[in-house]
Chain A
Amino acid sequence: MKDDTHSVPRTVPIQSATFSNPTNAEIRRAAATGIYDIRGGGSKRKLPHFDDLLFLGASISRYALEGYREKCDTKVVLGTRFAKKPIELDIPVTIAGMSFGALSGPAKEALGRGATMAGTSTTTGDGGMTEEERGHSTKLVYQVLPSRYGMNPDDLRRCDAIEVVVGQGAKPGGGGMLLGQKISDRVAQMRNLPKGIDQRSACRHPDWTGPDDLEIKIMELREITAWEKPIYVKIGGTRPYFDTMLAIKAGADVVVLDGMQGGTAATQDVFIEHVGLPIIACIGEAVRALQDMDLHREVQLIVSGGIRGGADVAKALAMGADAVAIGTAAMIALGDNDPRWEDEYNALGTTAGAYDDWHEGKDPAGITTQDAELMKRFDPIAGGRHLNNFLKVMTLEAQTIARACGHNHLHNLEPEDLVSLTMEAAAMTKIPLAGTQWYPGKPGTSY
Chain B
Amino acid sequence: MQTFDLEAQGLRNLNAALQAQSAETNQTKWEVVNAKGSHAIAVGLDAPIEVNVMGSTGYYCAGMNKQATVHVHGSAGPGVAENMMSGTVIINGDASQYAGATANGGTLIVKGNASSRCGISMKGVDIIVHGNVGHMSAFMAQSGNLVVCGDAGDALGDSIYEARLFVRGSVKSLGADCIEKEMRPEHIEILTDLLERGECDAKPEEFKRYGSARKLYNFDIDNAY
Contact = CB atoms under 8 A, between A and B. Distances in A.
Contact of B85 (A152, A223, A225): A152
Interface in B170-225: 216-219, 221
Contact of A216 (B16, B40, B219): B40
How many A residues touch the partner, as a band?
35 or more
Given A192-B123, A200-B159, A206-B139, A219 B39 contact: yes
Interface in A163-193: 177, 179-180, 191-193
B121 A147 contact: yes
Interface in B150-164: 159, 161-162
B134 interface: no
B64 A200 contact: no
Contacts of B217: 180, 194, 197-198
B106 interface: no
Given A153-B64, A200-B140, A207-B102, A213 B121 contact: no
A207 B104 contact: no
B121 A217 contact: no
Interface in A215-234: 216-217, 219-220, 223-227
Interface stretch (B27-35, B48-56, B75-83): B75-83
A443 interface: no
Contacts, number: 108
B166 interface: no
Interface in A380-434: none
Given A148-B83, A152-B85, A192 B40 contact: no
A216 B159 CA distance: 27
Contacts of B102: 148, 151, 206-207
A34 interface: yes
Contacts of B58: 216
A194 B217 CA distance: 10
Interface string B121-134: 10110000000000
Q: Which of A192, A193, A197, A198 has the most CB of B within 10 A?
A: A192
A242 interface: no
Interface residues of B, number: 43
Contact of B101 (A177, A194, A206, A225): A206
Interface SS of B by simple majority: loop
A198 B219 contact: yes
B60 A220 contact: yes
Given A148-B121, A148-B123, A193-B161, A224 B78 contact: no
Contacts of B135: none
Given A153-B46, A192-B104, A194-B162, A224 B63 contact: yes
A225 B15 CA distance: 10
A8 interface: no
A340 B195 CA distance: 61
Contact of A153 (B16, B44, B162): B44
B64 to A, nearest CB: 4
A223 B43 contact: yes
Nearest to B61: A220
B111 interface: no
B117 A206 contact: yes
A220 B121 contact: no
B143 interface: yes
Given A152-B104, A193-B161, A226-B16, A216 B60 contact: yes
Contacts of A63: none
B12 interface: yes
Interface of A: 33-35, 38, 147-148, 151-153, 156, 177, 179-180, 191-194, 197-198, 200, 202, 206-209, 213, 216-217, 219-220, 223-227
Given A38-B219, A156-B44, A197-B161, 10 more contacts: A147-B121, A191-B142, A197-B217, A198-B217, A207-B60, A207-B120, A216-B58, A216-B59, A220-B43, A223-B11
9 contacts: A34-B221, A147-B121, A192-B123, A206-B117, A207-B60, A208-B79, A213-B59, A216-B40, A219-B39
